[in-house]
């Protein structure tokens, strides 16, 4: 399916897959959650340091398809320094992008635009949303 993506988008996704941002673990995360997409075999662990309602640090590790892993990498580039409520609206916006209700370009979230191409392939949408649904789980765990 990667062959059907626009080549620029494919390059961006592969760059994140091969050089993932914020990859690793944090020594003292406020929260650490696991996310799985059994349909594809994607698995991630997402860790956050949250202080005073602001995401101060983020790290992740995982395995799975290029889209799932690149999507988490893009997520981590976007959420550091954001408040929880800003991050929650990002989650809703990204879901909107995957449903085709929101234009990725309007969100000013950098490489998210490359991932928007995935919405042509419904089976891959869960891959692209794994990081975001896991982030949502992290907030639930924090009860915020």
Question: Which residues are near Zn ion by CB under 5 A?
Answer: 40, 42, 65, 68, 127
Edge-to-edge strand order for the sheet containing 54-63? Answer: 31-37, 42-51, 54-63
- CB closer to Zn ion out of 29 and 131: 131
- CB closer to Zn ion out of 68 and 76: 68
Q: Least distance to Zn ion from the beta carbon of 115, Å?
A: 12
Q: Which of 96, 75, 98, 71 is nearest to 13 (CA)?
A: 71
- CB closer to Zn ion out of 59 and 127: 127
What angle do the packed helices 122-142 and 84-99 form, to 10 degrees? 160
Q: Least distance to Zn ion from the beta carbon of 8, Å?
A: 21
Spatial contact of 71 and 61, defined as CB atoms under 8 Å apart = no
Q: Least distance to Zn ion from the beta carbon of 33, Å?
A: 18
């Amino acid at each position: 399916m990667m062959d059907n993506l626009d080549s620029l988008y494919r390059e961006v996704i592969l760059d994140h897959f091969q050089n993932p941002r914020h990859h690793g673990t944090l020594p003292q995360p406020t929260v650490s959650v696991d996310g799985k997409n059994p349909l594809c075999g994607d698995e991630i662990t997402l860790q956050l340091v949250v202080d005073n309602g602001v995401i101060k640090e983020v790290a992740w590790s995982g395995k799975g398809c290029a889209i799932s892993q690149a999507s988490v990498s893009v997520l981590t580039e976007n959420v550091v320094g954001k408040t929880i409520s800003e991050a929650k609206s990002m989650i809703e916006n990204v879901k909107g992008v995957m449903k085709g209700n929101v234009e990725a370009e309007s969100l000013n979230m950098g490489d998210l635009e490359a991932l928007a191409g995935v919405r042509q392939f419904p089976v891959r949408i869960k891959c692209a949303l794994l990081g975001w649904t896991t982030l949502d789980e992290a907030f639930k765990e924090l009860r915020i």
